[in-house]
Amino acid sequence: KNADAAMYRAKSTGHNMYFVYENRMADNINAHLTLGGGLRKAIEEEQFVLHYQPKIRLPDEAVVGAEALIRWVHPELGMISPDQFIPLAEESGLILPLGEWVIRRACRQLQEWREAGVPPIKLSVNLSSRQFMQADLVDMVRRALEETGVDPKNFELELTESMLMNDAQQSIEKLHSFRKLGLTLSIDDFGTGYSSLAYLKKFPIQTLKIDRSFIHDLGLDCDNDAIVKATIAMANSLNLKVIAEGVESRSQVDVLNGYECQEVQGYLFSKPLCSADFLTYMQNSYDTA
């Protein structure tokens, strides 16, 4: 419907506009095909990097963790964000080798930080739904941890509500197997999926990450504030760690401190950083502490 309307508007303003519009559409389709087609080769050639965004503890604002976020360093198109290629990797099944690369790269990064003398921090990695359904996922993670010598208590997996609710019973079993490895489990984008509080109690998870859409409106909308406040209170009383994502301003930190939110992550503190910049960030953070 929207496309039809745009097409109509474009047509009615003349042939040139119509031509431009059609060309753009073709560009989008081409981009989709080019990225999709290039993905297999990109995996073989390891055209990916992980960036790391610090997680900050409240109220002392110490750096206590980081989230690993993938980027595709495309030879012609430059840096491509995960929202543009993770869905393609999901569709094609290439998310399985790509996801394994992410987990291994993250484990090696933890060891590199240790060798560089960085105080131990927890590193989290995002899983996608197809990856979560993979039968030998737990084994793959166990091998990656063992082969790199990473202490599992410094390793966290971020899952979404929809991934867990897809087959709740099977999810619970899988989460328990992960817990036996000694790592921690987090629910990402909390509040955006359809979350059943009854199930939340049954999932053996340790952390809730409040979605950044709720943090964005903090202090601007009473209903939104009430949701954030109640979510943090619920997490605290269930003994879950709670993190606010997408923190961009001091006033948001002040509100979150008031609600007793334990950790924050967002551009106010840092954007996701490449490995070298993250190391500098860490060194500065304990120099000034």
286 contact, one of ligand C2E, Mg ion, none, CB 5-8 Å limit per kind = none
Residue 107 beta carbon to ligand C2E: minimum distance, rounded to whole angstroms: 13
**147: helix, coil or strand?**
helix
Stretch that binds Mg ion, among 138-146, 229-237, 241-249, 256-264 (CB under 5 A): 241-249
Site for Mg ion in 163-202 (CB under 5 A): 188-189
Tokens matching residue 222: 């009473």
263 contact, one of ligand C2E, Mg ion, none, CB 5-8 Å limit per kind = none
81 contact, one of Mg ion, ligand C2E, none, CB 5-8 Å limit per kind = ligand C2E
Q: Tell me whether residue 10 or residue 63 sits nearer to ligand C2E (CB atom).
A: 63
- Phi and psi, residue 81, nearest 5°: -80, 155
CB 186 within 8 A of CB 219: no
Distance in angstroms (rounded) separating the CA atoms of residues 289 and 274 = 22
Residue 216 beta carbon to ligand C2E: minimum distance, rounded to whole angstroms: 8
Residue 16 beta carbon to ligand C2E: minimum distance, rounded to whole angstroms: 35
CB 187 within 8 A of CB 160: yes
Residue carrying structure tokens 């967002």: 266
- Interaction site with ligand C2E (CB under 6 A): 53, 69-70, 81-83, 86, 102, 126-128, 158, 188-189, 212, 245-248, 266-267, 272
Q: Tell me whether residue 13 or residue 257 sits nearer to ligand C2E (CB atom).
A: 257
Q: Does 53 bind Mg ion (CB under 5 A)?
A: no
Residue 15 beta carbon to ligand C2E: minimum distance, rounded to whole angstroms: 38
100 contact, one of ligand C2E, Mg ion, none, CB 5-8 Å limit per kind = none
Q: Tell me whether residue 7 or residue 87 sits nearer to Mg ion (CB atom).
A: 87
Q: Tell me whether residue 158 or residue 161 sits nearer to ligand C2E (CB atom).
A: 158
Q: Does 161 bind Mg ion (CB under 5 A)?
A: no
CB 175 within 8 A of CB 203: yes
CB 219 within 8 A of CB 251: yes
Task: Decide the pairing of beta strands 207-210 and 241-245.
Answer: parallel
Residue 160 beta carbon to ligand C2E: minimum distance, rounded to whole angstroms: 8
Give bridge partners of residue 186 from the DSSP assignment. Answer: 158, 207
Q: List Cβ neighbours of 19 (8 Å cut-off, separation of 6 or more).
A: none
CB 52 within 8 A of CB 66: yes
Picking from 49, 21, 63, the residue whose alpha carbon sits closest to that of residue 280 is 63
Q: Tell me whether residue 10 or residue 270 sits nearer to Mg ion (CB atom).
A: 270
Count of C-beta atoms within a 10 Å radius of residue 43:
18
Residue 106 beta carbon to ligand C2E: minimum distance, rounded to whole angstroms: 8
Q: Does 156 bind Mg ion (CB under 5 A)?
A: no
Residue 158 beta carbon to Mg ion: minimum distance, rounded to whole angstroms: 4
Task: Decide the pairing of beta strands 184-190 and 207-210.
Answer: parallel
Classify residue 101 by burial, with Cβ atoms within 10 Å: 0-12, 13-18, 19+: middle
Stretch that binds Mg ion, among 155-163, 171-179, 199-207, 267-275 (CB under 5 A): 155-163
First to last CA, the chain: 56
Q: Which residues bind Mg ion (CB under 5 A)?
A: 126, 158, 188-189, 245
